[in-house]
Structure 1
Amino acid sequence: MFLVAVPAWYQEFLEWIPAGKLFSWRAVFDALPKILERLPVTLGLTLAGACFGLVLALLFAIVKINRVKVLYPIQAVFVSFLRGTPVLVQLMLTYYGIPLVLKAINTKYGFNFNINDIPAQVFAITAFAFNEAAYTSETLRAAILSVNPGEIEAARSLGMTEAQVYRRVIIPHAAVVATPTLINTLIGLTKGTSLAFNAGIVEMFAQAQILGGSDYRYFERFISVALIYWGISIIIENIGRLLEKKMEIQSPDRVEGGRAHD
């Protein structure tokens, strides 16, 4: 487990805060370091779910744009199901469904998959990734369709393969359009990882529950974890703004104006 070293000044700060009987601010701040010990688990679930979800979303978007035979109706039903059911239900379906599938494979084909060796994080990441893909695919589809068709045709006329067109032309331009929405989606996923405790994963929210159960200061502990989630969201928002500025495509007037000023 990742341990957060509590500096001496913070301990002195805690002693200065009144404990209180009905409500204790000391309990709020005392829980922060202990909850932060589970921050790597929360970030790991977030980043893994976002990365796998982004890849799946791109595949879903390409299948929908090109209306690939056989795959398109399957994708449509799958995305509709994921968008129409709660992520908690999907997490439980994954948590209990994957072991059943593996048992069926073991029984039918004689394999020896050890279901008990599968970490709970695998089930949570799978559920989060597919849920993110269902929503992000529409964002990516709209971003891809916003790319200038003339640029795509120009790339094809140069002899680029379809994969090269996507990699060199479509995806870079679509990323500029999709980034603001993707950042908001990432913030939502970060908060959504609090549901992972239902799969037996001790992340930040579960840690807050454990601390609350030790002294029945649940309200204070939930304030603590809420402050941490709030701080993470602010950090992600600011990183997103920096990415948007870095990826921003300047208009010819602005570029010429900048040169004239120089």
Structure 2
Amino acid sequence: MENLLDINFLIDSFPAIISRLPVTIGIAVGSLILSLFIGVATALIKIYRVPVLRVISAIYVSFIRGTPLLVQIYLVFYGIPKIIYYMQIEYGWLQSADVNSIPPEVYALLAFSVNLGAYLSETIRSAIESVDRGQFEAAKSIGMTPVQMMLKVIFPQALATAIPNLGNMFISTIKDTSLVFIIGVIDIMGEAKILGSRGLAFFEVYIAVSIVYWILCIAVERLLVKVEKRARRYERGIA
């Protein structure tokens, strides 16, 4: 009689799955960092109503929000090599670029950065706009440039407001990285699929990988709570 669950196989699969944690965390953290730059730039374009760029940023955010992440990954994975190849043939640009040597992790990182940047732009915009207008006027009155005002006065206060949403999006990104296996990235989900196909024990490896994701997200959530407390402490100091 066949057992419902092969406990030994489940336990033995953990080391291999955990060994791929750096890939999952690397894509999630890297995309968060890059998306912050995209999100801040897009948010400032909307806040200051920059001509032309404002329309482009609105289309960008609308497109990302209105299409599945899976489709966006495919667009980046198949689109970037085609664009590079087109530029090489038609204009002679990027001749040193070899699309075949670009690792799939790079495409995954770009796709997640573009996706997350669109969502973060709204979070960052609302966080900046939540800062009391008096702070803007006070910074201007002491002769701060717009860049100094944003970096030294506005962003530190907006950060405390944005951290909860940033944390939720980061946790969602960690879970969404399970999609990168479709373009050949072997993350923890990819490793689980490989192990499952080898041992024909998909149920066991999916239990194992779900536990790894669960523990990872709990650890990140605990870390974010500490970061938020420190930011709120700074906010109380300002008040």
After TM superposition, the score normalised by the length of structure 2 is 0.95
Greater RCO structure (CA 8 Å; 6+ sep): 2
The corresponding residue for 1:151 is: 135
The corresponding residue for 1:82 is: 64
- The reply on whether 1:22 has 2:8 as its aligned counterpart is no
Aligned length: 234
Q: Identify which range, 192-201 or 25-34, moves more after superposition.
A: 25-34
Distance 2:11 2:67 in 1: 36
**Deviation of 1:28 (Å):** 1.7
Equivalence map 1:72-221=2 (5 Å): 72-111=54-93, 112=95, 113-221=97-205
Q: Gaps spanning 5+ residues in structure 1: where?
A: 1-19, 256-262
Distance 2:236 2:44 in 1: 28
Distance 1:22 1:251 in 2: 57
1:217 and 1:161, CA in 2 relative to 1: closer, same or farther beyond 3 A?
same
**Deviation of 1:27 (Å):** 1.9
The corresponding residue for 1:58 is: 40
Larger Rg: 1
Partner SS for 1:160: coil
Q: Identify which range, 199-208 or 21-30, moves more after superposition.
A: 21-30
**Deviation of 1:250 (Å):** 2.4
Distance 1:236 1:79 in 2: 27
**Deviation of 1:55 (Å):** 0.9
Whichever residue aligns with residue 223 of structure 2, its letter is I
Partner SS for 1:31: helix
Distance 2:221 2:46 in 1: 30
Distance 1:140 1:110 in 2: 39
Distance 2:98 2:170 in 1: 33
Of 210, 229, 236, 1:250 maps to 236
Equivalence map 1:212-251=2 (5 Å): 212-248=196-232, 249-250=235-236
Whichever residue aligns with residue 221 of structure 1, its letter is V
Misfit runs of 4+, over 2 Å: 249-252
Whichever residue aligns with residue 131 of structure 1, its letter is N
Deviations 1:182-228 (A, max 9, x none): 00100000011111101101110010000001111101100100000
**Deviation of 1:21 (Å):** 2.3
Equivalence map 1:28-39=2 (5 Å): 28-39=10-21
**Deviation of 1:54 (Å):** 1.0
C-alpha RMSD of the superposition: 1.3
The corresponding residue for 1:68 is: 50
Distance 1:122 1:205 in 2: 18
**Deviation of 1:25 (Å):** 2.0
Whichever residue aligns with residue 236 of structure 2, its letter is Q
**Deviation of 1:122 (Å):** 1.1
Q: Gaps spanning 5+ residues in structure 2: where?
A: none
After TM superposition, the score normalised by the length of structure 1 is 0.87
